[in-house]
Structure 1
Amino acid sequence: MALLLLLVTLASCAATPQDLARKMFTFPEETNTAHVKLLTTKQDLSAVTVCLRSFTDLLRGHVLFSLATSHAFHDFMIYKDTNDYFSLRARNKRAPFEFQGYKLNEWNAICSTWDATSGIIQLWVNGKPSSRKFVSSGSDIIGPMSIVLGQFPDSQGGGFLTYLSFIGMISDVHMWDSVLSPCEIQNYSNELSFTPGNVLNWNALDFQITGRVLLEDKQRIC
C-alpha cells in the first residue's frame, strides 16, 4: 500500500502538462487545505503579468492567485477584498485598488501587471485598467516559486487561512515574464487571439490538485 501511494505521488509530481481549454477548476467549499498548485521552471522574474477568469458569489475577501518564494511569501498576489476593492502584492508590498465593474455570479477577467524596474503595479478587470500605482522596485522575484490558486498562504509552503479561501470557479490562467500591452490584455479579456503565457499556459498547464477541487468542463450558457 505504501509503495502504491509512493508511485501515485511520483506520478502526480511528474505529470505532463495538460491542455485545459474549455476547462475550469471548481472550488466548492470553504477550507484551509484544498488548493491547486501550478508548476513552472522559471526562477527569475523582472516583470509579471497574470491573467485569469473567476466566477464566485463571495462577498468576503478571498485569494485568487498567490506566488511565494523563500524570499517573500507574498511575492505576487491577487486578492479580492470586500465590495469593489482589490489588493495586489509584489515583493511583500501591498497596493489597494477600488474598482467598479466586478460582478458576482458572472465570469470576470482579471489581470495584473508589475515591473521590477519602475515598481509600478496595475489591475485590469474585464478589460478596463485601474490607476497605476507604485508598490516595490529594485529587486526581481528570484528562486523556486510556489504558485497556488484559491488559498492565502501564511508562510511559504505553510498552512492556509480558511476564512480567506476561494469558493467558486477559476479558468484560463496565464502568466508571462513581461508586462503585456493594453491591447494584449484586452484581447485576453474579450476572449480574442492573444499570446499564451510563457510562465504558465492554460493550454499546457502542469499542476497538482490537493483536496476537494474539481477539474470540470467549463459551463456555457446557451
Structure 2
Amino acid sequence: MSTFNVTKVKITNRGCCCPERFNGAEIRIGNIPEDGGTQNTICVKIESLGRGKEGEYVCGMVGRYVTITIPGRIEYLTLCEVKVYGNNVSEGYAVTQLGADVPSKTNLTGRHFLFPKESITDYIVLTPAQPMRLNSFTLCMNLALNVSENRETILFTYRTLYYDALTLWQELNGNVGFYMSGEGIMFPNLDKCNTWNHICLTWESEHGSCELWVNGRRTGTKLYRKNSTVQPGGTVILGQDYDSYNGGFDEKQSFVGKIKDLNMWNKVLSLRSIRSVFRGKVKQKGDIFDWSDLSYSIKGNVKLV
C-alpha cells in the first residue's frame, strides 16, 4: 500500500437527518492500521458541520490511512461523501497546503523574497516539514520593511479553519504584536535605524513564557496562552493576512519589503542558539521551516532575489 502526502480532506455531511452526530469528529492520518487508524495523528478536530454542508480541511500530513471518528461516543457516524486529496510520496511530491501548487523545495541561503508593492495578490505559501501541532516554538527571520509610518503590516500568519492560530504584526504604532486565536500581546518597536531587523519569537505552553528578540537582544518577556496548543491543519503564508480561511486579503496590511533567513523550530532555542542564529551561524536546522531546505509556492508578483 502506498504512502501519500495528504493535502486536504473534503467531507459532505448528511442532509436528511442528525447532522449533529458529526460534531467533534476527528480526522486522523498516519501509517498505523490497528484500532481503525485511531492511534494516528490528528489533522483536525471539527466542531460542527451543518446539514448537507461541505467542509474542507487542510492537513499536509503523510500516511497510508485516513480515519474519521467521533471519539468517546457510541453512535453511528454517517456521511454523504468523503474526498481525500494527496500525492504519492514515491512520486517525489512535497506536501502542499491550501492555495499552493506543488511547491519548490530550495536552498535559499543568501537569497531573499522581495514583495515590491501593496497588493492583495502577492504572497508566499510555506509548507511545513511536519504538522503545526506546537506546544512550543522559535520563529526567526530577517525583515527589511518598506512601508510608511502608522501602517499595520503582517509579518507572518498561520491560519486554521476557524482561527488565526499564530500571527505576527507590526502594529499601527510600530509595536510588534503577537496573536494566538484572540487578544494578543505587544513588544517594542523594531529598530528603525537598521535596514534589516532580525527577529526571533519564542513561546512555550507549560508556563506561557513568550519572548521577542530583535537583532540579538531580548526586548521583553511576557506570559501568554499558558497550557495552549497550536493546532495543525492550517496554512502558513508570508505577505498577506487571511481574514477568512480562503482569503479576504487587505492591501493596506500587506507586507512590502524583503524577507530572508526564515527558520522555525518546534522548541524554544537556548540563548546561545538564538544569538548564533542572529549571527548567521545556524547550527540546528529548523524542524518546521528551514531556509536552507524550504518548501514554498510563490503567488503573484513576489520575486526571489
Same fold (TM over 0.5): yes
> Aligned pair in 2 of structure 1 residues 135, 93: CA closer, same or farther (>3 Å)?
farther
Q: TM-score, normalised by structure 1?
A: 0.85
CA drift at 1:196 = 1.9
Aligned residue among 277, 281, 297 for 1:188:
277
For these two proteins, the number of residue pairs brought into alignment is 205
The yes-or-no answer on 1:136 pairing with 2:225 is: yes
Q: Distance in 1 between matches of 2:208 and 2:183?
A: 10
Using the TM superposition, give the Cα deviation of residue 162 of structure 1 relative to its aligned residue in structure 2, in angstroms: 1.1
SS at match of 1:96: strand
| Residue number in structure 2 paired with 1:20 | 108
Root-mean-square deviation (CA), in Å? Answer: 2.0
1:86 is aligned to 2:183: no
Q: Answer yes or no: is 1:50 the counterpart of 2:139.
A: yes
Q: Which runs of 5+ in 1 are unaligned?
A: 1-9, 217-222
Supply the distance in 1 between the matched residues of 2:167 and 2:174 (Cα, whole angstroms). Answer: 17
Deviates more, 1:28-37 or 1:145-154: 145-154
Q: Within 5 Å, which residues of 2 pair with 1:113-128?
A: 113-128=202-217
Which of these two proteins has the greater Rg computed from alpha carbons? 2
The amino acid of 1:65's aligned partner reads F
Query: What is the CA-CA distance between 1:16 and the residue it aligns to?
Result: 4.7
Q: What TM-score, normalized to structure 2?
A: 0.63
Give, in angstroms, the shift of residue 193 of structure 1.
3.8
Report the CA distance between 1:36 and its aligned residue: 0.4
The answer to whether the Cα contact below 8 Å between 1:63 and 1:166 also exists between their aligned partners in 2 is yes
User: Could you say what secondary structure the match of 1:160 adopts?
Assistant: coil
Q: Secondary structure at the match of 1:45?
A: coil
Sequence identity percentage = 29
Equivalents in 2 of 1:16, 1:163: separation in Å? Answer: 28
- Cross-structure match for 2:126: 38
1:164 aligned partner: 253
CA separation of 1:91 and 1:117: change in aligned 2, threshold 3 A:
farther
CA distance in 2, matches of 1:185, 1:115: 15
Matched, 1:67 2:158: yes
Q: Secondary structure at the match of 1:50?
A: strand
- Indicate whether 1:210 and 2:299 are aligned: yes
Match in the other structure for 1:112: 201
Residue matched to 1:5:
none
What's the counterpart of residue 198 of structure 1? 287
Contact 1:93–1:136 (CA<8 Å) still a contact in 2? Answer: no
Bigger relative contact order (CA 8 A; separation at least 6): 1
Question: Equivalent residue of 2:226, what SS?
Answer: coil
